[in-house]
Amino acid sequence: MSEQSKKYLIQMKNVDKYFGEFQALKNINLEVERKERIVICGPSGSGKSTLIRCLNRLEKHNKGQVFIDGNELTDQIKDINAVRREVGMVFQSFNLFPHMTVVKNLMVAQQLVRKISKADAKQRAMHFLERVKIPEQANKYPIQLSGGQQQRVAIARALCMKPKIMLFDEPTSALDPEMINEVLEVMVDLATDGMTMICVTHEMGFARSVADRIIFMDLGEIVEESKPSEFFGNPKNERTKNFLEQILTH
């Protein structure tokens, strides 16, 4: 464990990822400090989702190194789940467990993975449900909730694990427009609270107001990496300009 890799919460060094012949990630280098908020954007198929899925090893990278809080993710890693419980993830399609009520969805991993007692798990679950403003839905099944509500439950489920970092994989892409804001509000709230976050999203308003850094990806590469003011005001790369034009003038 090098001192340098301990300094950053997340560090990716020269990471390549292939799906068969197709190279999804090309020589990715990325460092994320504690409490940093990063937004990753880019056209579909650019490797954004693959990048963050490599951070909790839902995808295995083929080359390079990935460090989470100083621990390198390798095949030899003894307990990947010890790393995963420190990394919360929110999916585009929510992925709530359909056969469990909302509160059970929040409790199950606390009890199984964190070995927290049932009473404590429930208390924490209710705490985070209140935080995402839907405590009254605790005993419903996921299918009985709107998309926006489901995604807020999914965020609460990840938060219950007290993660050191939250990954968001296009959390609002599957939502109807009127539900996007309720989810973004929760995310802004989290950011204000000092949570380290990496969000893959096309919500440029959110990126502008919350992100410390914006990363633009295309064809598996990080093309541009800058502060929001620079990113929107004075994008350097031609591809970034094209993308911004398309997304801001639709």
Partner 1 sequence: MIVDFTLIAESLPIMLKGIGITFQLLIISGFLGLILAIFLLLMRISGKWYLSFPAQIYIYVFRGTPILVQIFIIYYGLPQFGFIRSSILWSILREPMGCAIVALSLNTGAYVSEILRGGVLAVGKGLIEAGSALGMSAYQKFVYITAPIATRIALPAYSNDVISLLKSTALASTITIADMTGIARTIVANTYAPYEIFISLAIVYLIFTFILQKLFGYTEQYLGRYTKREG
Q: Which residues bind to partner 1, rule: CB under 8 A? A: 56, 58, 81-85, 87-89, 91, 93, 95-100, 108-109, 112-113, 140-144, 154, 157-158, 161
Q: How near is the Cβ of 89 to partner 1 at its closest, in Å?
A: 4
Name the minimum Å distance from CB 168 to partner 1. Answer: 12
Give the 3-state secondary structure of the chain. CCHHHHHCCEEEEEEEEEECCEEEEEEEEEEECCCCEEEEECCCCCCHHHHHHHHCCCCCCCEEEEEECCEECCCCCCCHHHHHCCEEEECCCCCCCCCCCHHHHHHHHHHHCCCCCHHHHHHHHHHHHHHCCCHHHCCCCHHHCCHHHHHHHHHHHHHCCCCCEEEEECCCCCCCHHHHHHHHHHHHHHHHCCCEEEEECCCHHHHHHHCCEEEEEECCEEEEEECHHHHHHCCCCHHHHHHHHHHHCC
Nearer to partner 1 by C-beta: 157 or 239? 157
| Least spacing, CB of residue 234 vs partner 1, in Å | 36
Q: How far is the CB of 123 from partner 1 (least distance, A)?
A: 18
Task: Using the minimum distance from each CB to partner 1, give the nearer residue, 109 or 199.
Answer: 109
Of 158 and 191, which CB lies nearer to partner 1 in the complex structure?
158
Identity of the residue, 4 or 139, whose beta carbon is nearer to partner 1 in the bound complex = 139
